[in-house]
Structure 1
Amino acid sequence: MANKRKKEPQTEDMLVQRFEQMLAEGTSVFFDLHEFEHIIQHYGIRAQWQKAFKACEAAFSQYPFASELGIEKVRVLLGLGKYRQALELAEKVAALHPDSDELFVLQAGAFMGLNMVSQAIESLLKALKNTDEKEDIHYRIADLYLRSGKLQHSVEHLFEILKINPDNINALLDIADSLETLHRTAEGAKFFEERINENPEDFRLWRNAGVFFNETNSFHKAIELFDYALALNEEESSIWYHLGHAQMNLQRYEEAEVSYQKAIDLKEESDFPEPEMYCCLAATYEKRKDYNKASELYRKAVNMDEQCADGWYGIGMCLIGKERWYEAINFLKKSVRIDSECEDYWLALAEAEWKTGNVMSALEAYQHANHLNPANPQTWLDWSGIYREQGDYMQAIGLLKSGLEECPAHADLYYRMCLYHIEAGKYKQSFSYLENALILDFDRHTVLYEWIEDINIQKALFKIISQYQR
């Protein structure tokens, strides 16, 4: 008796090929339910939503009552941006799958597409009840609360994430940022204290508490907590890495160098160090003006990843440190091309452009930096300083007026306005700005004597300043 030949299972590519051939020929070919699911998912992964939709339509023509296909079609409709249709279908499918966490997540995506944030959050809260992916769902909810300005609600879900996974550093950083904005950092300190008391042997809890205090600028406290974490596990790279951050912020560069190097060495034993780790190590040398060693490490970072913007920026800053302005521009331009949302990159580029006489390019770079952070008073000072150097005092004054609207309590802006008005010959207005500056910060008045050489003007200023002498 002849052996029957066993039917070979078809690969995903073969299924897709058969399906596309069916479409091209306008014929009807049989696929089982799971094969249709594979075809739809194949197109979905590649964001080929029109083809995925055609596969859904073909699947429903063969299996009109297959509720499993409903969830796939909701996903496809979302990909096509048909949010209302996706919601309508999701409601029908939910009647058959009332506990599907996946369906609730898709519903949330449809609500977000329609800018219905509260409804999206409500759907995700339903998804939380049955999902095994609680960490991911909590993060989605936290993000939506953050977008809608409800920081405290966002923090509550971020705390839940850390209970599930203490290694989720992104959640930790978001907590610190949100609580600092709310002026409620004590809540974070209490949370970590409670977690440590529950499990004092878990080095991750000590590390996380240290990271939190790092982010809220309590660097001495952070170092103390990192020391406890290291006492429990001195072979954990992340502890040394964050300890290095605290030491850098306290300008303890030699200690930071040791910490970053230890972090890199430990990382090399189990994995590959990230380029950012070499950038941090490089910064310890840059701060000590060892630009050659710093550049070597920054170059190592960009050799590992050409898209490492910090690496290109670091090389540029080392060249600035050597006053090699023309060369610096090339590297700084690479950094802003990779990440145009970093204020520091634009400020460094602006300085380099100005030093090489590229006035228009410098002004454009300051404008970019200011757009990203209009509350930085130094940007206003340096930006307006270009107009002052060119003798365009009225343009400098106009720019600083805008700066004072953004930074109304910053004394240096008032002192600089006083200077610009004096240089423009507008003495009466200059004294008004001087009085405001003296009220805000009397001790900073000495900067005026550095700028103004005319003895008669100095005497007039001294007469006013002496009235505010403590």
Structure 2
Amino acid sequence: MQLSNEEEDYNLSLSKFESMLKTNKVLFFDSEEFEEIILHYLDIGKANLAKKALKLALDQHPKSTGLKLVQVEMLVYDDKLDLAEKLLNELYAIEPNNEEIYIQKANICSKRDQHEKAVELLKIALQYTDDYADVYNLIGMEYLFMDNLELAKESFIKCLEEDLEDQSALYNVVYCFEFLDQNQEAIVYLNEYINRNPYSEIAWHQLGRLHYGVKEYENAIRAFDYATLIDDEFLGAFMEKAKAYERLKKYNEAIESYNRTIELDDATSYALLRIGKCYEKLGNLAKAIQYYNQTVHEDPLLDKGWIAITDFHLRQKNYQKALFFVNKALAIDNQNRLYWKRYANINKQMNFFEEAEFGYRKAVEFGDYALDTWLFWVDILQFLGEFESAIQTLLQATEYFPEENEIEYRLAGLYFMIQDNTKAKFHLSNGLRLNFDNYILIEDLFPVVWSKKMVKNYIEKHRK
């Protein structure tokens, strides 16, 4: 690819400047060359070289407004806002119609969290600028800082009206639509944008994402197809397309798209996991387990991988293998509540009740407060005859589920078991109030309690 004259001149200027630094010879550059050199070093994070270039530039062009504005930018970059403001006021006295002065003043206001004032200054800059797109983009960013998503959206749309190719504004306008929960409006906007700029793979990709978000999977795939036709290495579009195919239960097509992402980049644990899931849905269990194994090999810290391989063996009722893999997962991360719950469920299936009780206890300890976890744990404590522990566990559960009949009926049964009839009747009354028909839990879980005439009479009294 041939370089344009501008690019050649730019590269020559950089080479000439770096050669000058090595030889300590002072060479002449015009002020615009210096501006480009300084901004280049700032862009790549070499602030020291930018400062050297600025010092030499101001020595050679002490009256250049452009260079002084670059100096302001560097002062702002270093958080020397008062100095930057002082210099801007001097420049304003000389060139009150220079839009860059207002942009930099706005930048300083923004740094000071004075975003409304920054917007006012940027609106003045609009009166003097030729680059409307850039200023509208900056205004949009200020509105984002103020959490005014509606006005931010309007500004980014104006930016795109001036410059269709501004990708950051395109991403930001979609972000605003989504944040405002205006997905259908965003779809309409992107279709209009695509009519004006049909070869924007970013727009097609964003349109696909929005269709996916509102469960229009066929439309999503169509949009992702266009994105990948424009850029056949667009990894994100292939990944999203695969997910949409999965939603439509087109598992072979999904596998094909996931495989394309692996061709474009190194295999990701996410893609391998999804391919495994697709093969399992297709009934190809050998391929499924092969990909699940690859997933945990690729990323041993991905809990979804270990869960997939454990659940696979659970579904096959191969509890020994399921336990083997969940133990491997726990050896890597023994504070993962999802692992502990599976450890508990597997041990319960194998009638290892003490291990199951330990697993549920650890799951709750590490943040699993789901109702079924509490109930499984308590039922095992009851089975083991640990009635007091079961009661304490249920009382703890009531902090998360204060009006849950299944907890109340269990508390009633347990209090009857330890002969505390007053508390038992209190909780039985609560259970009957919350869901009368569920008193069957007493019969199922506490046959000894159910056999007591007093309990049946109490329930009958509430029925009336």
- For normalisation by structure 2, the TM-score amounts to 0.59
Q: Which residue identity lines up with residue 81 of structure 2 in the other structure?
A: Y
Q: Secondary structure at the match of 1:259?
A: helix
Q: 2:305 aligns with which of 315, 321, 331?
A: 315
Give the aligned partner of residue 258 of structure 1.
Answer: 253
Say if 1:313 and 1:331, in contact at 8 Å, map to a contact too.
no
In the superposition, relative to structure 1, how do residues 315 and 186 fare at CA in structure 2: closer, same or farther (>3 Å)? closer
Give the aligned partner of residue 82 of structure 1.
Answer: 80
User: Within the alignment, does 1:293 sit opposite 2:290 as a pair?
Assistant: yes
Aligned equivalents of 1:399, 1:274: Cα separation in 2: 42
- Greater Rg over alpha carbons, structure: 2
User: Within the alignment, does 1:327 sit opposite 2:322 as a pair?
Assistant: no
Q: 2:217 aligns with which of 220, 223, 247?
A: 223
Say if 1:206 and 1:225, in contact at 8 Å, map to a contact too.
no
Q: Which residue identity lines up with residue 134 of structure 1 in the other structure?
A: A
User: Within the alignment, does 1:178 sit opposite 2:173 as a pair?
Assistant: no
In the superposition, relative to structure 1, how do residues 36 and 314 fare at CA in structure 2: closer, same or farther (>3 Å)? same
CA deviation profile, 1:397-420 (whole Å, cap 9, x unmatched): 45763x46xxx9xxxx73465367
Give the aligned partner of residue 4 of structure 1.
Answer: none
Aligned equivalents of 1:234, 1:49: Cα separation in 2: 38
CA deviation profile, 1:200-236 (whole Å, cap 9, x unmatched): 9889777654432322xx32xx134246558979946
Aligned equivalents of 1:228, 1:361: Cα separation in 2: 46
Mapping for residues 206-245 of structure 1, pairs under 5 Å: 208-215=206-213, 218-219=214-215, 222-226=216-220, 229=223, 235=229, 241-245=239-243
Q: 1:151 aligns with which of 149, 152, 160?
A: 149
Q: Which residue identity lines up with residue 111 of structure 1 in the other structure?
A: C
Give the aligned partner of residue 111 of structure 1.
Answer: 109
Say if 2:238 and 2:258, in contact at 8 Å, map to a contact too.
yes
Q: Secondary structure at the match of 1:115?
A: coil
Comparing 447-456 and 74-83, the one that deviates more: 447-456
Q: State the identity %.
A: 15
In the superposition, relative to structure 1, how do residues 14 and 200 fare at CA in structure 2: closer, same or farther (>3 Å)? closer
In the TM superposition, residue 73 of structure 1 has moved relative to its aligned partner by: 2.2
In the superposition, relative to structure 1, how do residues 40 and 241 fare at CA in structure 2: closer, same or farther (>3 Å)? closer
In the superposition, relative to structure 1, how do residues 435 and 312 fare at CA in structure 2: closer, same or farther (>3 Å)? same
User: Within the alignment, does 1:284 sit opposite 2:284 as a pair?
Assistant: no
Give the aligned partner of residue 371 of structure 1.
Answer: none
Q: Which residue identity lines up with residue 72 of structure 2 in the other structure?
A: V
Q: Secondary structure at the match of 2:404?
A: helix
CA deviation profile, 1:145-173 (whole Å, cap 9, x unmatched): 44533233344455567773598784476
In the superposition, relative to structure 1, how do residues 100 and 106 fare at CA in structure 2: closer, same or farther (>3 Å)? same
Q: 2:404 aligns with which of 414, 438, 442?
A: 414
In the superposition, relative to structure 1, how do residues 203 and 14 fare at CA in structure 2: closer, same or farther (>3 Å)? closer
Say if 2:374 and 2:397, in contact at 8 Å, map to a contact too.
yes
Say if 1:158 and 1:175, in contact at 8 Å, map to a contact too.
no
Instruction: List gaps (5 residues or longer) in structure 1.
Output: 1-6, 23-28, 337-345, 367-377
In the superposition, relative to structure 1, how do residues 247 and 133 fare at CA in structure 2: closer, same or farther (>3 Å)? farther
Give the aligned partner of residue 375 of structure 1.
Answer: none
In the superposition, relative to structure 1, how do residues 56 and 121 fare at CA in structure 2: closer, same or farther (>3 Å)? same
Give the aligned partner of residue 65 of structure 1.
Answer: 63
Q: Secondary structure at the match of 2:83?
A: helix
In the TM superposition, residue 261 of structure 1 has moved relative to its aligned partner by: 1.4
Say if 2:224 and 2:240, in contact at 8 Å, map to a contact too.
no
Give the aligned partner of residue 419 of structure 2.
Answer: none
In the TM superposition, residue 178 of structure 1 has moved relative to its aligned partner by: 1.3
CA deviation profile, 1:234-284 (whole Å, cap 9, x unmatched): 9466766444333434xx44x14413514654995xx55884655544443
Aligned equivalents of 2:160, 2:332: Cα separation in 1: 38
Comparing 279-288 and 231-240, the one that deviates more: 231-240
In the superposition, relative to structure 1, how do residues 365 and 248 fare at CA in structure 2: closer, same or farther (>3 Å)? farther
Give the aligned partner of residue 372 of structure 1.
Answer: none
In the superposition, relative to structure 1, how do residues 133 and 239 fare at CA in structure 2: closer, same or farther (>3 Å)? farther
Say if 2:35 and 2:67, in contact at 8 Å, map to a contact too.
yes
| Root mean square deviation, CA, Å | 5.7
Aligned equivalents of 1:447, 1:203: Cα separation in 2: 62
CA deviation profile, 1:432-457 (whole Å, cap 9, x unmatched): 8657865xxx99x6996799445647
Give the aligned partner of residue 343 of structure 1.
Answer: none
CA deviation profile, 1:132-155 (whole Å, cap 9, x unmatched): 5938963x6555544533233344
Aligned positions, number: 398
Mapping for residues 18-57 of structure 1, pairs under 5 Å: 32=29, 33=31, 37=35, 40-41=38-39, 44-45=42-43, 47=45, 49=47, 56=54
In the superposition, relative to structure 1, how do residues 48 and 229 fare at CA in structure 2: closer, same or farther (>3 Å)? closer
Aligned equivalents of 2:255, 2:457: Cα separation in 1: 50
Q: Secondary structure at the match of 1:75?
A: helix
In the superposition, relative to structure 1, how do residues 50 and 293 fare at CA in structure 2: closer, same or farther (>3 Å)? same
Q: Which residue identity lines up with residue 66 of structure 1 in the other structure?
A: S
Q: Which residue identity lines up with residue 306 of structure 2 in the other structure?
A: G
Say if 2:144 and 2:152, in contact at 8 Å, map to a contact too.
yes
Aligned equivalents of 2:457, 2:122: Cα separation in 1: 63
